[in-house]
Structures are given as C-alpha cells and as structure tokens.
A and B are shown apart, each in its own frame.
Chain A
C-alpha cells in the first residue's frame, strides 16, 4: 500500500479506530463549542446563530474604481470588505515617487492622502460595514485615515469595526512589505493596538497571519505554529507596555489558509484553537474567555490553484470553502480562479462569492456545529496536528524565539527550504495536482482564451498623481509640517505615534511624507538574505 503523508509530515493510516483516540480526554481536549479550550469552535451554536462573514479581497486602480467594485459585490450579498492596497501604498511611497513607477494601482488601490480613503468609502456606511485593511508596515497611518473617514461620516468611535492586518512579523517572514527595522516596526504594531484598544474598542487592531507564511511554502503545522508564536510575541509586547492581557487580547484575530487536504486543515484549526486557548489562559493568565478565542478568517491561497485549465480552480475553491466551514471560520475569503493570471475579473470574484454562498446555503456544511467531531480520524488527526505544532513551536524557541528568528533570517530560510521540498514533491508526482502532474491531457492548456485579463490602465497613475498634486496645493502646509515634525519627535521618544499620525492625516499629509518622517529616525530594514 502506498504511503500517504499529511502536509505536516506524519503518515496517514488507511483506517482509524478507537485505539487511535485512546489518549484523547473528551472533557480536557475536545470539550463543548463555545467553551474552553474551544476545540469545537468559539461559539456554542456557530453558524446556526451567525453565518461566517464573506469578505473577498478587493482593490485596484484608483480609490474611485475600487469603490465601484466594493458596491458591486455588496449588491450581490457580500457583507464586509477587505481592501487591497497597491505596493507603493504598502511601502509608504507616494504615487508620484520615482520608485512607484509602474506599480501604482497594480495589485491594489492607490492611497496617498485622506482624500483617497474618503473616495474609497464614499456611500459605504462605516457604522454598518466591517472593513479589513490589508496593510502592515503602513498600518498606523492607513488605519488613522480610516478612523478619520469614519469620524467625517459621523460614526462614533465605539461603533467602528475595522481590522487592519498590522502583522509585521509575517511580512518579514513571507510577504515582504516591511519598511523599518524589526524593532521600530514592532513598536508601530503595538502603538496601533494600544491606541485602538483605548479609543476604538470594536476594532481588531491586529490580524495574525499564518496564511502568507503557508503561501510562501511552509507546512500546515508550521503555519499554525508560526502564527501562534507571532501572536505570543505581540501579547508580550503589549504586556511590556503595562497593558493587562484582557484589555487587548479579545480583539486579536487570525488569518489562515485552508487549502490542501480537507481533514488535515480542519484538524489544524481544531488543534490551533485548543493551543491558543491554553496559551492565553495558562501562560498569559487571561481571565476573560474572549481572550482565549482564536477568531479567524479562513481562506484559500493562490498556491492551491493551478495555471493549467484555470476553471478547475473553481472546484478547488469549493473544497476550500468546505474545509473552512468545517473548520469553524468566522470569516471566509476565497481566491479567484483567474488568480494565476491577473487581478480578478468581476465575474471571477462573483463566482468566488457564490461558491461561499452555495457552501453556506445549499451544502449543509453550516447546519450543525463541528460536524466532524468524534470521528476516530478527525480526533486522531487533531491530536497528531497538535503534537506537530508543539514540535514546531519548540523549534522556534530553539532559534531564540520568533523575533530573533526573523531578525537572523532563520525562519525565512526554513520557509524557503519547505517551498523547495514542496516543489520537488510536485515534480515527482508525490503530491498530485490534476492537469498539472497527473491526468494531463494531450492538448496543452490554452488558458489565456478562458481568462479575461485585467486591463491595467496607465491613466490611473496620471489621475492619481494629478489628485495628489492638487491636494498638496490646496492643503494648509503649515499644519502638515507641524504634524510631521511631531511624528519625528515622537519617533525619537517613546510616546504613541498614533496621536501625531492622526493629526497628520487629518491635515492631508501624504503617506510618503508620514513614512519619511519616521524613516528619518528609524532607518530602513536590511534583509538577511538566506536561501
């Protein structure tokens, strides 16, 4: 019989029975949904009371174009937003910066000033729509702009629900939109968490991401282990500031992926919830049950998909949605079938949304809580996954903890090594991929004919630059310089940078100006290149 392995590395047996779950203590390890250790989910009745939120990742071109796409998906039943920003925005470069050439509006929408965020959310009531902001190195100023737009709309601070990603450690590991060195970058993460905890109690000021690390090549167990290690690092950061764990931990959320083997993915989340709950209660002494809850956006990753015969990706997306539902997602997002080619077309985005809706409404996956619980296989798999995650966490400890491992590049090197191993398994056929390394037809995929390519409009750059020039002319420059000066001063000191940043964005300082005011003090990160 062929040996089969989980992505986490352990063998999968052809049959599981009572002997495989003999070590499982039902009360201690599984418990009841909505109760510690939350193995079965963080809510008692899960989807029977509230379905997962559907939140596709959207953004391209100018804020006005993106605003139209937001409204298109909301008109089709999407109930929340997840904003994609272009690379210059993510890296704190204005649209007219020479380094931004060719990148403005490419992989997300361009934001230079508060005026862009005003345009992006025009006609979208921020007291009723929750918005995720996929922004990290620039999370502080972009979230400040978001808070300012909400204020302009007359929304009370306590009603603003937003989730800036604000997870810089995974950027150093996997996604690459770092700007400043590790320590000042961590300070900015903490400033936003602290400011939001004090003034915007319903915001979720950090979304800890295993997702991007998995996309970069790590295993399922590493994805969860690194995510938990990153969460612990942020908790320690806030405790070091003198905050009490229950003041901020209830608003920590997670962003993970669920592509691959369905049962392994479900087990990963069941084990992860259990480990997180124990970590928060036992290690960090949190007493509020909400602090123990691993609330997660679960989605797919482009890595699950193939460029060959792209329509097959629609089917892959449906399995991801099923895995995410069975895993107990609070929020779901799917990649689109054209992901390997282009910025998603409206059609591809609608299909992804419909996939989640079909899973929710038609498939029965949402009918009852944690439907796989009690299966010999699922409980054995959950225990096996827990064990592997703990081994990976021990490995991170041996590297000096996640922050040190990021600084030295050791984690990045391990992720790259795993990516290479994975690719070798694809080449050898050990990991089958239909129409890629097995069941390959005689006719090569001529996918371009089936995919509507996004027509990038270079005029978007001109429009964005013209708008930026107009704002620079019209704003009160004295107020801008004063606020920027306060940012630099505060950066030299130890105060919370969110206060002067709020002031600067309201004066229509540009993102590039704000980023530079900090860069003058913090310097730039030098990557430890290892492969």
Chain B
C-alpha cells in the first residue's frame, strides 16, 4: 500500500505528520510526505501522480473540515474518488462525524495511540468504518 502524508493549509506543525510517516514506513508501507503548506489542489495532483491508495491529512489549525472537503472534492473531480482520505490532528470530537459525513474514512484526533493509526492503515484498503477512534 502506498500512502501520501500531507499538510494542507498554512499550519506549520509537522511533528505528528512526520511521526506517523515514520511509523507507517517502519510498518512496511510506502510513504510519501509532501512537506508543509500544500494547497488541496497540489495534494490531489500529487496523490494521483504518485498513485497512492491513501491520503493522510494532518491539520492542527482548526481548518480541517474545509481542507478535507477540498481534497475529497478534488479527488472526485479527477475520477480518483477511490483514493481513501484520512485525517489527523487537533480534531474536536464534534467534528469527527462531520468529517466522516464528507467521506473521510478514518479520523485520528489528538491522543490516538500510534499503534491504532498503524493498524488502521495495515488493514489494507481502508474500509468504511463506524468505529470511533479513541480520544
């Protein structure tokens, strides 16, 4: 499985993104990390170019709903709606459902144990789930 870890928006905190990228790589996944301040359009383009199975968005600024929507819409518009999108960061519990309604497959709010994140990715193709990440 190939994964793109991306930081959309203006937020410069990349500790979480890099820790997850490291952990996924150690778990045997192919991981691309695209760096800070990518626009949703750039992320969509890179996801398609790199032919990834999953895009992991990391947002700590509070703009996660807007940014996730942009990425999902962009992927669908490019006929790449089969690429799963997951989101991690400072996601208040009230926004978890909102993100899932948009089509985000998994949400990993602050405090999600690293092994749970790795496990979710290892399940292969990210399946629809109703399971709440622990927070």
Question: A residues bordering B, Cβ < 8 Å?
Answer: 87-88, 90-91, 93, 99-103, 106-107, 171, 175-178, 215-217, 306-308, 340-343, 416-417, 419-420, 423-424, 426-427, 436, 444-445, 447-448, 453, 456, 527, 529, 531
A/B interface sample: 18 pairs, CB < 8 A: A91-B10, A102-B67, A103-B10, A107-B62, A176-B12, A176-B14, A306-B111, A342-B90, A420-B22, A436-B111, A447-B135, A453-B94, A456-B62, A527-B35, A527-B36, A529-B33, A531-B18, A531-B33
- Whether B114 lies near A427 (C-beta < 8 A) is yes
B93 engages A420 (CB within 8 Å)? no
Tell me which of A91, A107, A308, A447 has the highest count of chain B C-beta atoms within 10 A of its own C-beta: A107
Tell me the smallest distance from the CB of B66 to a CB of chain A, in Å: 4
Q: Is the CB of B14 within 8 A of A341?
A: no
Across the interface, do B63 and A340 meet the contact criterion of CB distance under 8 Å? no
- Assess whether A176 is in contact with B37, with CB atoms less than 8 Å apart: yes
Residues of chain B in range 112-135 having any CB-CB distance to chain A below 8 Å: 113-115, 134-135
Contacts of B11 in A (CB 8 A): 87, 107, 176
Q: Which of A340, A423, A527 contacts B114 (CB 8 A)?
A: A423
Give the residues in chain B near A436, CB-CB below 8 Å. Answer: 111
Once the chains are docked, how many angstroms separate the CA of A99 from the CA of B111?
A: 29
Contact A448 B93 (CB under 8 A): yes
Q: Is A176 within 8 A of B18, CB to CB?
A: no
B7-51, CB under 8 A of A: which get 1 and which 0?
001111111001101110000000001111101000000000000
Q: Are B13 and A175 in contact (CB under 8 A)?
A: yes
Q: Report whether A420 and B135 are in contact in the complex, using a CB–CB cutoff of 8 Å.
A: no
B63-87 contact mask (Cβ, 8 Å, vs A): 1 or 0: 1001100000000000000000000
Q: Are A448 and B92 in contact (CB under 8 A)?
A: yes
Query: Which residues in A have their C-beta under 8 angstroms from that of B15?
Result: 215-217, 416, 419
Say how far B134's CB is from chain A's closest CB, in angstroms: 6
Is there contact, CB below 8 Å, between A176 and B13? yes
A106 touches B114 (CB 8 A): no
Q: Which residues of A are found within 8 Å of B52, using beta-carbon distances?
A: none
- Evaluate contact between A420 and B19: CB separation under 8 angstroms: yes
A sample of 14 more A-B contacts (CB under 8 A), given A340-B110, A341-B110, A531-B18, is A99-B10, A176-B37, A215-B15, A217-B19, A307-B111, A340-B111, A341-B90, A341-B92, A419-B18, A419-B19, A426-B114, A427-B115, A453-B92, A456-B62
**Nearest CB in chain B to that of A91: its residue:** B10
Return the chain A residue nearest B112 by Cβ: A307
Q: Does B88 contact A (CB under 8 A)?
A: no
Q: In the complex, what distance in Å separates the CA atom of A340 from the CA atom of B134?
A: 14
Q: How far is the CA of A353 from the CA of B120 in the complex (A)?
A: 40
Is there an interface contact between A103 and B61, defined as CB atoms closer than 8 Å? yes
Contact of A307 among B12, B33, B37, B110 (CB under 8 A): B110
Bound CA span A423–B113, Å: 9
Across-interface contacts of B111 in A (CB, < 8 A): 306-308, 340, 436, 445
Given A215-B15, A531-B22; A444-B134 close (CB under 8 Å)? yes
Q: Across the interface, which residues of B come within 8 angstroms of A343, CB to CB?
A: 62
Note all chain B residues with C-beta closer than 8 A to A447: 93, 135
Q: How far, in whole Å, are A35 and B68 apart by their CA atoms in the complex? A: 55
The CA of A417 and the CA of B21, in the complex, are separated in Å by 11
The listed residue (B10, B19, B67, B134) touching A87 by CB distance below 8 A is B10
| Distance from B122 Cβ to chain A, minimum over Cβ atoms (Å) | 15
Tell me which residues across on chain B come within 8 A of A106, comparing CB atoms: 61-63
In the A-B complex, list the 10 residue pairs whose CB atoms are closest, starting with the nearest: A176-B12, A307-B111, A87-B10, A102-B63, A102-B66, A529-B35, A416-B18, A420-B22, A448-B93, A307-B110
B56 is an interface residue with CB less than 8 A from chain A? no
- A416 and B62: CB pair below 8 A? no
Contact status B135-A307, CB under 8 Å: yes
Contacts of B115 in A (CB 8 A): 427
Q: Are A529 and B34 in contact (CB under 8 A)?
A: yes
B9 touches A416 (CB 8 A): no
Let me know if A307 and B109 touch, CB within 8 A: yes
Min C-beta distance of B81 to chain A, whole Å = 22
Identify A531's interface contact among B21, B109, B110, CB under 8 A: B21
